[in-house]
Amino acid sequence: MGTHDSLGMRLRSRIRGRERWEVKALRGRPGTAQDLERLLSQRQGVLHVKANPTSAGVLVTYSTDTPDFDVEALIREGFKQLPPPVASRPSGAKSGSAISGILKSFLPRDQALTPPVLSTVGHSVHLLQGLSFVSIVNTARGSGPGFLRSLGIVSTGAQLLVMTGWSLLLTGVDLYLQYHRKEAWRRLGQATQHDLRDQLITRIEKQDVEFFDRYGTGPLIDLVTKDTAQVGEFVERSGDVIIEKALTIAVAGFFIITSAPSLGLIIFLPLPIIFLSSRFFGGKITERYARRGETTKQFNQMLENNLAGIADVKSFTAEWEEARRLSECDAALAQHTLGAERAASLQTNFISGLFSTTFVLTAGYAGFITAGGGISLSNFLRLVYWFPQLLRSLTGIEQVTGLYHRADDSAGRLARVLESYPQIQSGPVRLSAEEVRGEVIFEDVSFGYDPSVKVLENVSFHLRPGETVGIVGPTGSGKSTLLRLLLRFFDVDSGRISLDGNDIRDLDLHNLRSAVSMVSQDVYLFQGTIRENVIFGQRRATEEQILEAMRDAGALDLITSVPGGLDAEVGERGRRLSGGQRQRVAIARALLKLTSGASILALDEATSHLDNETESAFKRSLRKAATGKNVIIIAHRLSTIRSVDRILVLESGRITEAGTHDELLAHEGLYASLWRLQNEDPFGDQLEIRLKR
Ligand code: ATP
Ligand code: MG
């Protein structure tokens, strides 16, 4: 039983609740396998999915409560939602390297013809130069080309003049073509790199938050800059070299064989050995380059972390320790680089050795047959010229193989990202900003970043339009996670979150995220001016709106106190501002989004760096700025949320108390004890008291 088709699906085994399929389209595609796993695991009734890119097997276990569960349709439908494969990286497989897959997708077809044509013409002209060089020497010996004689040019002097003129002309054409040929290849390389980068950046920007947590910033930057450049360089440089070598080998081989056929045979003897050796070395070299790539990624990540956290490195006087760690990682990197290069040059050396030996043998043999009169002098001259040419072409092959291995390694990494598809997909229901009322319902929501560790468990609450809810709870209890789920940075494991009655998984993602304006706990300001940071995402805001948002955020004083005012540069990640100033710029940004139509304002510890006075002023202006909007405030400082409509207490991922401030005090639970702690302590209001979980 089982079917054949483009996915190559075949049923391997089936028992109730558990089916194993072979899906040929998965083979050698770890990215696709991973995406398929994640996608299918989310489907209703599916308990577990395992997709293996090596064996091409997909194992699906499902709940037997669902009648007529159709695993085949499930897999097919899953595949439809994955992107068409950009490139495949068959792990250890022999056909279809990663670089060829990438080139198939990204080499601009309309520009791909000119460079090889120019190369072919250019190198042919160069070879003609060689031919005329041999002719000049033969002319000097009195056996010039026959066509000159038939044209009436008979004297050796005249023949030499014509041949020299012809050679000069060829040299000029060669130089001219050389310039244009290089330019054409460069253009092709740049165009490929640009297309690749464009697609890669688009693909990266669309990924889930989880993807960025997994990859880290440094490796992604490397991917966009270095790996694409490696592919570009391969396109720019390898094509021309390959054409040059192929033409030279063909022409030189032709002349050698026609001059002395027995020599030709000897010369080409090593070719099958080379072919076999590249099969032998190829896999090893690729593997070592991949290991080097992995270590480079680690090193860059470490360096980036170190530089971003340099203030902490210094305050903990950990410079020495950090420098040592970096140095160790760099030493490992050097080792792996050496390993990769060693394998590559071993192959090159082997090939060179093979040719050198052949050269010596052939030269000796040629000497013998010339001495024995088995070859004419003009043929011998040809051999003397073409033999080194052929050798140079054959031994220089490592230029291309080096480029190839590096590009193939990069292409493998690129393909994995280009193949991976965000798990969080936009839904079909569109809600314009004006339509959204902002009613949020969490129903029995459970979630864990790692499926085995629940961060939220059976959380249910209801945020009515126009209401303000405060969320408190010990550190790590899952407060920020609640907001991440609302924005669909992650999807719930079970339960449901709805906005205005629609499951947020059914909503258009852009609409959903436009409806929520958030100030996150780790405020991030982008390099640029204060103004640019406030209008981030709302480029069309008027000066008046900007100022109003700044005023409501209690940030107007920045305009006068920071040199440059609204146009002051905030520095990388806003380093040039104080913690409280950064927070207020971020609040202004969120308030501006609120005026532009968002209906829910979520503040995650957004005022933690503000002094009490500034915070109170902000709370007053917030009431006006957020009239009619829904507000969620997460705070450790309880005075921040004292007057909200309802307070939820979150403990270890569960809501344990809910009510107004007075109700919760009367309840005598965690909230009441926290409140007392913060207010009895003379510094309680300024100190953030964080209870241990
Ligand atoms: P705090 O008051 O300190 O901000 P919180 O209540 O906001 O804490 P969360 O940030 O929601 O806590 O984190 C809840 C739990 O989830 C923590 O145990 C944390 O270690 C874990 N966690 C948070 N973010 C991630 C992530 N990206 N990947 C894996 N685990 C995470
Ligand atoms: Mg938090």
Query: What are the tens digits of pLDDT across the range 124-147?
Result: 999 998 888 888 888 887 777 778
Nearest CA owner, ligand 1 atom 4: 475
Rounded to an integer, the average pLDDT of 516-539 is: 90
602 Cα: distance to centroid of ligand 2 (angstroms):
12
Stated pTM of the model: 0.72
Rounded to an integer, the average pLDDT of 386-397 is: 78
Q: Which atom, in ligand 1's list, is nearest to the CA of 482? A: 11
pLDDT confidence tier of residue 691, bands split at 50, 70 and 90: very low
pLDDT confidence tier of residue 83, bands split at 50, 70 and 90: low
pLDDT value of residue 137: 84
pLDDT confidence tier of residue 631, bands split at 50, 70 and 90: very high
549 Cα: distance to centroid of ligand 1 (angstroms):
30
Cβ of 477 closer than 6 Å to ligand 1, yes or no, is: yes
State the Cα–Cα distance between residues 78 and 84, nearest whole angstrom.
12
Highest mean pLDDT among 61-65, 152-156, 492-496: 492-496
Ligand nearest to the CA of 471: 1
CB of 606 within 8 A of CB of 579? no
Nearest CA to 644 out of 692, 603, 597, 584 is that of: 603
pLDDT value of residue 692: 42
pLDDT confidence tier of residue 681, bands split at 50, 70 and 90: low
Ligand nearest to the CA of 477: 1
Give the number of C-alpha atoms closer than 13 A to the C-alpha of residue 565, restricted to the C-beta side. 7
Tokens of 587: 């609040």
Supply the DSSP string of 559-606, one letter for each residue. Answer: HHHSTTGGG-B--GGGTTS-HHHHHHHHHHHHHHHHHTT--EEEEEST
440 strand-pairing partners: 463, 499
Put residue 68 in one of left, alpha, beta given phi > 0 → left and psi -120 to 50 → alpha: left
pLDDT confidence tier of residue 191, bands split at 50, 70 and 90: very high
pLDDT value of residue 686: 44
More confidently predicted of 484 and 64: 484
7 Cα: distance to centroid of ligand 1 (angstroms):
40
The residue whose two tokens read 């598809």 is 421
Cβ of 653 closer than 6 Å to ligand 1, yes or no, is: no
Nearest CA owner, ligand 1 atom 2: 475
Cβ of 484 closer than 6 Å to ligand 1, yes or no, is: no
pLDDT value of residue 552: 92
**Which stretch of DSSP H or E encloses residue 662?**
helix 661-667
Cβ of 643 closer than 6 Å to ligand 1, yes or no, is: no
CA-based torsion, 25, 29, 33, 36: positive or negative:
negative
Rounded to an integer, the average pLDDT of 108-115 is: 91
Cβ of 455 closer than 6 Å to ligand 1, yes or no, is: yes
Residue 168 main-chain phi, psi, to 5 deg: -60, -45
Cβ of 608 closer than 6 Å to ligand 1, yes or no, is: no
Cβ of 90 closer than 6 Å to ligand 1, yes or no, is: no
Nearest CA owner, ligand 1 atom 16: 455
Is 294's pLDDT higher than 50? yes
Nearest CA to 23 out of 13, 5, 8 is that of: 8
pLDDT confidence tier of residue 240, bands split at 50, 70 and 90: very high
Based on the number of CB atoms within 10 Å of its own CB, is 199 exposed (0-12), middle (13-18) or buried (19 or more)? middle
Tokens of 278: 């590249």
Q: Which residues contact 209 (CB under 8 A, 6 or more apart)?
A: 484, 489, 490
State the Cα–Cα distance between residues 495 and 343, nearest whole angstrom.
54
More confidently predicted of 572 and 283: 572
Indicate the DSSP class of residue 504: G
State the Cα–Cα distance between residues 300 and 286, nearest whole angstrom.
21
